[in-house]
Amino acid sequence: MRTTLRRFLVLVLIWFASTVFFLGIGIDGQKPFIGFPLDDTWIHFSFARNLVQYDSFGLNPFEPSSGSTAPLWVAFLAFLKVLGLPFEVSALSMGILFVFLTALCVEKLARLITGDQRTGFYAAVFVLLSGRFLWGALSGMEVALFSFLAALGIYLHQKALKGERISILPALVFGLASLARPEGHLLFVLAFGELCIRSFRRWKQALPGIILYGLAYTIVAAPYLVFSWILTHRLFCSSYYSKMLFTWRMTAWPYLKEYAGLVFWDNPFLAPFLVSGLWECVRRRWGLLSVWLVVFPLAASHISPILIHHGRYTMPFIPFYSLVGFLGMRRILRGGCLRFLLFLAIAWGLFSVGSWARIYATDSASIYGQHYRAALWLKKHTTPQDAIATNDVGVISYVSERPTVDICGIIKLNVLRVMCSPVPPEPRRRMLWRYLAARHVKYLAYYPGWFPWIEDRKCLKKVYEVRYAGNTIAASDTMEIYRVLCTE
């Protein structure tokens, strides 16, 4: 008991120290504004603000939208806002908390797999010292929330299978994970498949439990799918379909190579042992974790091959790759060699925390230096009734507090009929002006390089531009703002 308590206190100390160190560098680098390194963070804030103030789930008041990939995260932000916490504080606080909860769940999962407390302790340490994971968790996004729910769900699922029983608790957790990130749907499908395979020999006795397992998940996950279907006639959030139509996509093989590179550099002393660790999980009949880590990149390479923003969609998986890599190292190495590589892996973790803290700082400064300045200008030079069209809706919507029209289809898919139309530029511009006029758009803030066909001196008058030469995260160094003249 004393050893367990001592290890727990060491984990608390590492968690506290890494968080303070990370944010100490990050906040210092983004003065005078304590912001976040992603524009998307502020989309969640706008959704949460409208949920609190208008009981409306959308970017604009009384305009429902399935544009959020993380309705559970929005709900948490809204709940904490009702309690009096600003969104910036609650998002950062939840990120910090869920990092630690993820580490604890990974520790329990490692102990369940190996039966060894020391293995669980080191697995948790690698979670707390994963620099890119901390970047994602402290970005104001749902990264650590999903990692925590995925780790908890896998642990409960494997624990139930170990006891040769069926529990609906993992299904409920997987349902919540699906409300935190769409990848949760894949995790549930794989878990459900493993449950059915493991129950095949006693299927008559197991069938009622399997049905309840699926029903429990459906009760949690289905409402947002239905909500999305009612609004868009598509099951998943509108932002997913929007991103499938723009240039962020990669072909499968380059995606997988870059994906593997990200996993390798997260910790190059653990990555070489991933295959061994995956086999160790399969050998011990903990197949869900291995299958998920292999199937996800293969599926994503064909369905959603996007690695923007330092591969942020892969960040929730970092704790699991760290765990499996360490299991593989432990399986192959012994004695002094194991201790030496373990030391190097921890040293790399310390280095990565500092390195990613500096990246976090420069990325946050980029969002402040461009998006935030553009939003402040719009708030100062427009009336509350002036609608603003833009390709990056997060900061501009939240800070300007103006009706916002998304021209990338993340919030409303119908604009994609215009933006992705195959017709020549002139008729497509006319289609866009009609679309914007119907929504009373007075200003357009966008990256001209994204949509060169929009340029029109008759209908657009440039009034301002924001250039941030040190940009590291925005899609362009310069955002230009135009007055829309074709409003009829």
CB 340 within 8 A of CB 348: no
Are residues 378 and 339 located together in one domain of the fold? Answer: no
CA angle 145, 151, 152 (to 5 degrees): 90
Domain boundary among the residues 303, 336, 362 is at 362
In this prediction, residue 94 has a pLDDT band, given cuts at 50, 70 and 90, of very high
| DSSP bridge pairs for 465 | 480
Q: How far apart are CA 98 and CA 289, in angstroms?
A: 20
Domain boundary among the residues 362, 388, 413 is at 362
103-143 pLDDT, tens digit per residue, is 999 999 999 999 899 999 999 999 999 999 999 999 999 99
Q: How many CA atoms lie within 13 A of 9 on its CB side?
A: 6
**Integer CA distances (angstroms), 238 to 29, 244, 300, 436, 450, in order:** 34, 10, 17, 19, 20
334 or 1: whose pLDDT is higher? 334
Are residues 143 and 195 located together in one domain of the fold? Answer: yes
**Which residues, at least 6 apart from 260, have a Cβ–Cβ distance to it below 8 Å?**
none
Mean pLDDT along residues 381-391 = 94
Mean pLDDT along residues 54-72 = 94
Range of the domain at 104: 2-362
- The neighbour count for residue 122, using CB atoms within 10 Å, is 20
Mean pLDDT along residues 167-183 = 96
Are residues 326 and 255 located together in one domain of the fold? Answer: yes
352-361 pLDDT, tens digit per residue, is 999 999 999 9
Are residues 318 and 385 located together in one domain of the fold? Answer: no
Q: How many CA atoms lie within 13 A of 84 on its CB side?
A: 0
| CA max distance for the chain | 77
Mean pLDDT along residues 380-398 = 94
Q: Is it the case that residue 29 has pLDDT exceeding 60? A: no
Are residues 358 and 372 located together in one domain of the fold? Answer: no
Mean pLDDT along residues 147-166 = 94
Domain boundary among the residues 310, 345, 362 is at 362
Mean pLDDT along residues 193-212 = 88
CA angle 8, 151, 333 (to 5 degrees): 70
In this prediction, residue 343 has a pLDDT band, given cuts at 50, 70 and 90, of very high
In this prediction, residue 32 has a pLDDT band, given cuts at 50, 70 and 90, of very low
443-455 pLDDT, tens digit per residue, is 999 999 888 999 8
Are residues 351 and 474 located together in one domain of the fold? Answer: no
Are residues 320 and 462 located together in one domain of the fold? Answer: no
> pLDDT > 70: what percent of the chain?
97
In this prediction, residue 247 has a pLDDT band, given cuts at 50, 70 and 90, of low
CB 267 within 8 A of CB 322: yes
Put simply, whether the predicted model's pTM sits higher than 0.85 gets the answer: yes
First to last CA, the chain: 74
Q: Provide the number of structural domains found in the chain.
A: 2
Are residues 137 and 269 located together in one domain of the fold? Answer: yes
pLDDT for residue 409: 87
Q: How many CA atoms lie within 13 A of 315 on its CB side?
A: 27
pLDDT for residue 4: 84
Are residues 211 and 241 located together in one domain of the fold? Answer: yes
Are residues 348 and 394 located together in one domain of the fold? Answer: no
pLDDT for residue 246: 61
Helices 87-114 and 143-162 sit at what angle, rounded to 10 degrees? Answer: 30
Are residues 160 and 214 located together in one domain of the fold? Answer: yes
CB 156 within 8 A of CB 169: yes
pLDDT for residue 419: 85
277-324 pLDDT, tens digit per residue, is 999 888 888 889 999 999 999 999 988 898 989 999 999 999 999 999
Are residues 133 and 194 located together in one domain of the fold? Answer: yes
Task: Give the strands of the sheet with 387-390, arranged side by side.
Answer: 404-406, 387-390, 441-446, 478-484, 460-467
Average pLDDT, the chain: 92
